[in-house]
Amino acid sequence: MNDRLVPEHEAKVSVFDHGLLYGDGVFEGIRSYAGKVFRLEAHLDRLFASARAICLEIPLSKAAVAQAVVETLAANQLADGYVRLLVTRGAGGLGLDPTKTSHPQVIVIADTISLYPREFYDQGLRIVTAATQRTQSAALSPRIKSLNYLNNIMAKLEGLQAGCVEALMLNHKGEVAECTGDNIFVVRSGRLLTPPSDAGILEGITRGAVMELAAAAGIDCREQALVRHDLYTGDECFLTGTAAEVIPVVEIDGRRIGAGVPGPVTKQLTEAFHGLVTR
């Protein structure tokens, strides 16, 4: 926390912290593979950009935050781990005014994570479309990874209530945005397609890595506005995210995608991603 390592039972924030009271803060989820933090610089760039967008001054430099991430993983003896990096607005009064807060909190939590059971990676996910729309970018930019995830949580609840561990979210125009915690890709006629940033998505770090891997493999990868019809009639579909990595989708809203099993492009990019993170 801030500039020192503390055991879990001593890691405390004020009940007046605006991160707790209003979801006023930003965060990142980061992976470590074989003792190496995956794309730490990209995660920190996004963290600091999110903070600037909400006028939150992070009290540590990027170098200091990077060192804190590395030291926290080492202190927990985690070579293959997951880091949750948070910055809160700090403690203030019982009111919205952010200028009345002080001492922003920089918190690094190191642990392990297993988002989905192994069989979902082997057999693929079933997902449904949530009625909850992705927050409009005019209301709050989806490129800000803020502590307020209620929009995503409500959609996640819809998925769980339908017996699915993930749910698809559309934007206010009815276009495909992303899932509650992951970006989405579809393979159609040999092309790999994913919604563009203006569809209301968080530009995922894993998403970017997979797009780079696709380009290196000669796969035609494009950002393109998509609707559910494009997914229903696709040949393959998969999700990407820091915690999820790359995971196939074989059914959406009761429609079987392609052959109903993880497809060759999905498998190729999954293998390429695993190769990338274990180099």
Q: Encode pLDDT of 117-156 as tens digits.
A: 999 999 999 999 999 999 998 899 999 999 999 999 999 9
Q: What pairing do the DSSP bridges indicate for beta strands 125-129 and 245-252?
A: parallel
Question: Is the CATH code 3.30.470.10 the one for domain 8-111?
Answer: yes
Distance in angstroms (rounded) separating the CA atoms of residues 36 and 279: 9
Cβ neighbours, 10 Å, residue 69: 20
Question: Is the CATH code 3.20.10.10 the one for domain 118-277?
Answer: yes
The strands making up 81-88's β-sheet, listed across from edge to edge, are 36-37, 25-33, 81-88, 106-111
Identify whether 62 is a catalytic site residue.
Answer: no
Q: Note the pTM of the prediction, 2 decimals.
A: 0.95
Per-residue model confidence (pLDDT) at position 279: 79
Domain boundaries, the chain: 8-111, 118-277
Q: What share of the chain is helix, strand, coil (3-state, %, to 5)?
A: 35, 25, 40
Cα-Cα-Cα-Cα dihedral sign, residues 108, 109, 111, 113:
negative
3-class secondary-structure state, position 86 = strand
Residue 75 C-alpha from the chain's centroid: 25
Q: How long a stretch of residues is the chain?
A: 279
Distance in angstroms (rounded) separating the CA atoms of residues 100 and 98: 5
Per-residue model confidence (pLDDT) at position 115: 83
Selecting among 100, 145, 156, 267, the annotated active-site residue is: 145
* Contacts with 107 (C-beta within 8 Å, 6 or more apart), sequence order: 1, 11, 13, 84, 85, 86, 87, 88
DSSP 235: S
Per-residue model confidence (pLDDT) at position 14: 96
Helices (H), the chain: 18-22, 40-53, 62-75, 118-123, 150-161, 205-216, 228-232, 264-277
DSSP 199: G
Distance in angstroms (rounded) separating the CA atoms of residues 245 and 278: 13
Q: Which residues of the chain have pLDDT under 50?
A: none
